[in-house]
Structure 1
């Protein structure tokens, strides 16, 4: 962040459990951050969301209420809360506009996570309304890149497929099985683009309305699996396990508001997946 002329304060989970209210309040009282980007969350793919339902709702609500209130009490000048496209109804019109939140039922497999994120959004709105706090909400699409979680069961689709195709290549396996039917469409944003969008909005945006952050383009899981296979160098066949859940049929964000605010993504999908794979190889080499 030297190019922005700021001192970047970070704290690892092992040093500060954001679910611990007393610990969070003590850290904020010491650090007194001028600006807060609340990106911390308990996250995972479909299996993690559907299996760890209690943890996903408790942990994420606790993180939101502790950090947002501590930022307010300790005089933070600005706060950005990162939500998730999961907040939108399962069958909301596509592409997903910011005003679609709370207009219909959520996807059942990630409902606890979505409800926790909606609670954080509403808390930001309330603090802005009651206290005049310059707190804003942004809704990132599916993110990928360096530092991702590559757990074989609980990772998101990009990390899961990178690991699966890499291991299949090393084992010279004839086939890789992808969960679901392959027909759902997903939008993917490289993490460096996401960071750049956050900096842009922190510097230029102050309003109650949510702002979607994405590319404005999506791809079927089947086609995305082929992209990952090509990047990794897997030469075998790809099949689909239809017994596994698909999740929401489509989650494409309407990014017209973000584009009007002067920002758009710049990393092509194939380039981003290549960068993510190289990061995966580096991280695997250090373990």
Structure 2
């Protein structure tokens, strides 16, 4: 694994706005944001079959789809994702589904010699006790967080496959490691969502029901970094057109806050005025996770959406979809 703490050299791979570009995972949180951004940037031949049309776990179907559609660039945003409970209780699905998705798409892209491919990993690939802020060079230097190690291993395998293709075939494929993401299109499921959408759902429900208190998982002391998915979408295009290295590159804000502070912010946005309590019998996960974003900053990208404003717009999207106050929901 190549150490990565130096400033990257800016390269130029201007994408043809009229060429077919495959956004794998087009209907998910990340894929839908990438689709919106590329559309706004003038891309006219975007390809984004849904899972009912193309199951990326089906190797033959993926190869047939590539042969028929011949994408010239690929953004691999498709993945099985979930919060701490989902990762901890269903690690088999997280490693199996993600490995199959990645291997099928990457192998098909290689067969058709796709020139530009961006593989999106996750900041959970880094060691649990990595020095903060986390540099790209920390990868594979220590044990992973046990509550999401299966998902992390799958993503690490994707990074290594991208590096292997670069080394063996010379294709300028790249990998990016986003921090915790949120925004419109997120999953607000009661059991399977990540922390921020889970808090939005919980506080909204408590607000509607006029609950006296909200009990949250863990101690509230872990520190996390959050990036609006629209900022990530901008970063994806920047990386495809300006970055060319075998090292993965971090995408985040470089700023973090405690989960307790995050919960208080969400409560303020929602308008909940009851008590906030914590259940220390539930897992906290990694104590702290904030990324060093100096390398992508050197490429000219910076996040634009502040956390409070981003939560407010995400909550407005949540309300606009009629989710407010629902006791059960399938996303």
* Whole-Å separation in 2 of the counterparts to 1:284 and 1:201: 35
Q: What SS does the corresponding residue of 1:146 show, helix, strand or coil?
A: coil
* Whole-Å separation in 1 of the counterparts to 2:40 and 2:88: 41
Query: Per residue, is there more helix in 1 or in 2?
Result: 1
Aligned residue among 229, 232, 246 for 2:270: 232
Does residue 91 (structure 1) correspond to residue 129 (structure 2)? The answer is: yes
* Whole-Å separation in 2 of the counterparts to 1:250 and 1:45: 16
Aligned residue among 180, 185, 195 for 2:218: 180
* Whole-Å separation in 2 of the counterparts to 1:3 and 1:233: 33
Q: What SS does the corresponding residue of 1:159 show, helix, strand or coil?
A: helix
* Whole-Å separation in 1 of the counterparts to 2:53 and 2:322: 24
Q: What SS does the corresponding residue of 2:220 show, helix, strand or coil?
A: coil
After TM superposition, give the deviation of residue 3 of structure 1 in Å: 4.0
* Whole-Å separation in 2 of the counterparts to 1:271 and 1:225: 15
* Whole-Å separation in 2 of the counterparts to 1:256 and 1:131: 29
Unaligned runs of 5+ in 1: none
5 Å matches for 1:92-241? Answer: 92-241=130-279
Does residue 4 (structure 1) correspond to residue 28 (structure 2)? The answer is: no
2:280: which partner in 1? 242
5 Å matches for 1:73-88? Answer: 73-88=111-126
* Whole-Å separation in 2 of the counterparts to 1:283 and 1:31: 33
After TM superposition, give the deviation of residue 283 of structure 1 in Å: 2.1
TM-score by length of 2: 0.85
> Does 1 or 2 have the higher relative contact order (CA < 8 Å, sep 6+)?
2
Q: What SS does the corresponding residue of 1:50 show, helix, strand or coil?
A: helix
* Whole-Å separation in 1 of the counterparts to 2:62 and 2:257: 39
* Whole-Å separation in 1 of the counterparts to 2:275 and 2:72: 52
After TM superposition, give the deviation of residue 223 of structure 1 in Å: 0.2
* Whole-Å separation in 1 of the counterparts to 2:96 and 2:40: 37
1:64: which partner in 2? 102
1:50: which partner in 2? 88
1:32–1:75 contact (8 Å) kept in structure 2: no
CA RMSD of aligned residues (A): 1.2
Unaligned runs of 5+ in 2: 1-37
Deviations 1:167-224 (A, max 9, x none): 0000010111111100000000001001001111111111111110000000000000
Q: What SS does the corresponding residue of 1:226 show, helix, strand or coil?
A: helix
* Whole-Å separation in 1 of the counterparts to 2:323 and 2:263: 24
Does residue 258 (structure 1) correspond to residue 277 (structure 2)? The answer is: no
Count how many residue pairs are aligned between Structure 1 and Structure 2.
287
1:176–1:236 contact (8 Å) kept in structure 2: yes
